[in-house]
Structure 1
Amino acid sequence: MTPGRSCPLDYQVPAATFSGEPAFACDTLYVVGGLYGNEQALAALHTRLLREPLARVVVNGDAHWFDVEPALFARIEQQLAPYMLLRGNVETELGRPDHSGHGCGCAYPDEVPEQAVAWSNAIHQRLTATVQQLPGMPEQLAARATTALVNVGGQRVAISHGDEQSLAGWQCDRQALRSIERQQQLGRWCEHHQISVLATSHTCSPAALATEHWAVINNGAAGMPNFNNGQYGLITRIATQPSLSALYRAQVGNLYIEALPLNYDQAAFFDEFDRNWPAGSPAALSYRDRITQGTNDQPLDALLGGFTLASTLCALEAHFV
């Protein structure tokens, strides 16, 4: 199978993973997936957290991708140290002692073009060379857990990079979540494990679905634009009180599940990206248009039921459009 499409056996999430005791309890939780080595997005996260000093943070994988300068990679790792860090497919493959043959480990579905898979594998090769220049870094990445279970406001929140079944699973993307069969499967799973919220990332495209008893929220990317109304990243906030900054939200029990914009220094990120990934490089070919122009999606496209747009959206559109 083409590297980048395969899914290693050790990516599977054991069935009992989310049946145990939560790692910690809090009233406000941020889940940050897909930072992709954007140091400016990380700085924006730090600024936001100054307003909520008691909030806890779980970085649920793919914190690295574009940060191929060893000093930049190490600097991001240092800044992430205060948070709970999970492995995404990027960290998992970077942490392997031997070349696995799985490329970036993205487990891309068939509809993703072969050229996009090849670009991702090429980015992964460069990032592997970066990590090999940092003593102890592969072991540091490999030591991270793949999932987390957290108590937020007395309700159980499950966190994975991909989905509840696989580290790089795509069953929390929009197409999968639209399926009635998939929704029923998630409902049974949430009931069995007493889960109120499943927070994921991985697919690089936001999706959000809520019912009376449970919700799934996929933040897409914290370190890249997700929509057509501005070059901002997206993070997940789960808390007992709503945020005035939410783009969209749902409520399950006493929890507000929200997507928040991460407004980073775009010019600084563009300069850093172009320095590391000049025209013609695999990352420039694959991602530069998205980074500079956003995507074709509207925030409403991410909402699959149960979530509603918040007033923040109007302010964003007035600022960016």
Structure 2
Amino acid sequence: MTEGRSCPLHYRYRPEQLTMAPQACDADVLYVIGGLYGNPFALDEIEAMAEREQQGGLRVKLIFNGDFNWFNADDALFRDVNDRVLSHDAITGNVEYELARPGDGAGCGCAYPDFVEDAVVERSNRIMERLQRVAGNHPDLQERLAGLPRYRCLIFGGLKVVILHGDPESLAGWGLAHEALTQAGDGQLAEWFRQTDADVIVSTHTCLPVIRHLTVGGRVRLFLNNGAAGMGNLLGDPRGLIARLALTSPAPEGLGPEYPLPLHGALVPVDFPLADWIVRFDHLWPPGSDAALSYRHRILKGTSLTVKQLLGLTGTGERLI
């Protein structure tokens, strides 16, 4: 099987490219939102979170770093999610890339590694086929999706913040996945920090959240992978997560390390109404459907990842900032 596992050449780029055209970010707080997966209730809550911070006098910028489509296989919901997301800043994920350019042989475009079962890959390819049929009814949105960049570099708090979907070599790369970093350590991550000269890298795509801080070239660097904004990420916790970077105000319920950077970086929960979303999800993807088989349990129960594992802690030293 190659569809859903292969990494197309047009997904690829070089780490050195990622910081070549940095843009100033005129905000106090930056939300980086990956893996919304077409969940409108999570989007409601994220926008409400930003509004609450703005009411407190903070300037909040939202940037979606891909896969904001997935479960929204319905014309009205597809239109609603994309119109709302594209009113903010966004880069493409593999899902959006394949929706804008169907039929290139990449399947879902996920570039799944070997540890993902073939049945999961096959279901994802079929989910993409269904979603592509819906997207075909909205050529104006397909055109807007086709124009999204694959990555961004922002100057935020004087630091270079690289925002990706996959990893620093591919739109659908898995080099920053929880599994890859757990097995191989932070050596490749450190090398990517050297190659990009980034201070902060934020990614998504690989489904599980990751937090790392390390010193490279005498500078402290931060890596955040939010897992998914639109479904659960942690054991027994159905809330989504987003990455939040702030110049002055730490998140009251954020998960993050203590590190000497001139900004606060953390993963913060998205507490959307689960009961409302599961009703909508079950209508779109009834029992036995591809999305239900792959995702319904996670939507209800979260994953097997604990907070301690996420933060790399042992004992009872869970750290909330």
Give the TM-score of the pair, scaled to structure 1: 0.91
From the superposition, tell whether residues 117 and 225 of structure 1 become closer, same or farther in structure 2 (CA, over 3 Å): same
2:73 pairs with 1:68: yes
CA distance in 2, matches of 1:55, 1:251: 22
> Partner residue of 1:228?
235
Is 1:164–2:168 an aligned residue pair? yes
Question: What is the deviation of 1:249?
Answer: 3.5
Question: Partner amino acid for 1:225?
Answer: G
The CA deviation at 1:247 is: 2.6
The answer to whether structure 1 residue 200 and structure 2 residue 208 are counterparts is: no
Find the counterpart in structure 1 of residue 294 from structure 2. 286
CA distance in 1, matches of 2:171, 2:139: 26
Deviation at 1:230, TM superposition (A): 2.0
Q: Is 1:121 the counterpart of 2:125 in the alignment?
A: yes
Q: Deviations over 1:86-135 (max 9, x none)?
A: 11000001111x50111100000011000000110110011001001113
The residue aligned with 2:28 is: 27
Is the 1:35–1:223 contact (alpha carbons within 8 Å) kept by the matching residues of 2?
yes
- Which consecutive unaligned segments of at least 5 residues does structure 2 have? none
Alignment partner of 1:178 out of 159, 179, 182 = 182
2:223 to 216, 221, 245: 216
Range moving further from structure 2, 108-117 or 247-256: 247-256
Q: Conserved in 2, the CA contact under 8 Å of 1:235 and 1:259?
A: yes
1:28 and 1:152 in contact (8 A); partners too: no
**Residue 148 of structure 1 aligns with which residue?**
152
Task: Output the CA distance in 2 between the equivalents of 1:42 and 1:152.
Answer: 24
Q: What is the identity percentage for the equivalent residue pairs of Structure 1 and Structure 2?
A: 38
Unaligned regions of 5+ residues in structure 1, if any?
313-321
Instruction: Please list the CA deviations of residues 150-197 of structure 1 after superposition, one character each: whole Å capped at 9, or x if unmatched.
Output: 1111111101000111100000012322356x6233324323433111
8 Å contact 1:214–1:252 — kept in the other structure? no
The aligned residue for residue 256 of structure 1 is 264
Q: Do structure 1's residue 84 and structure 2's residue 84 form an aligned pair? A: no
Would you say how many aligned residue pairs link Structure 1 and Structure 2? Answer: 308
Q: Is the 8 A contact 1:211 1:252 kept in 2?
A: no
Q: Which moved more, 1:85-94 or 1:295-304?
A: 295-304
The alignment status of 1:36 with 2:37, answered yes or no, reads yes
Tell whether the 8 Å contact from 1:174 to 1:304 is kept in structure 2 after alignment. no
Q: Deviations for 1:193-236, whole angstroms, at most 9, x for unmatched residues?
A: 33111100001111111114112111000000011232100000
Q: Secondary structure at the match of 1:234?
A: strand
For the residue of structure 1 that corresponds to 2:13, the secondary structure is: coil
Question: Secondary structure of 1:68's partner?
Answer: coil
Secondary structure of the structure 2 residue equivalent to 1:178: helix
CA 1:297–1:179: 2 relative to 1, 3 Å: closer
Mapped partners of 1:303, 1:27: distance in 2: 25
- Aligned residue for 1:18, secondary structure, equals helix
Q: Match of 1:132?
A: 136
SS state of the match for residue 16, structure 1? helix
User: C-alpha separation between the residues in 2 aligned to 1:230 and 1:193?
Assistant: 34
- The corresponding residue for 1:317 is none
Q: Please identify, of 198-207 and 243-252, the stretch whose mean Cα deviation from structure 2 is larger.
A: 243-252
Match of 2:259, SS?
strand
Q: Which segment is superposed worse, 102-111 or 73-82?
A: 73-82
1:14 maps to 2:14: yes
Q: What is the distance in 1 between the residues matched to 2:6 and 2:196?
A: 28
Per mean C-alpha deviation after superposition, the further-off stretch among 260-269 and 222-231 is 222-231
Query: Structure 2 CA distance, aligned partners of 1:190 and 1:235?
Result: 22
Alpha-carbon distance between aligned partners in 2 of 1:240 and 1:32, rounded to the nearest angstrom? 18
Q: Over the residues paired in the alignment, what is the CA RMSD in angstroms?
A: 1.8
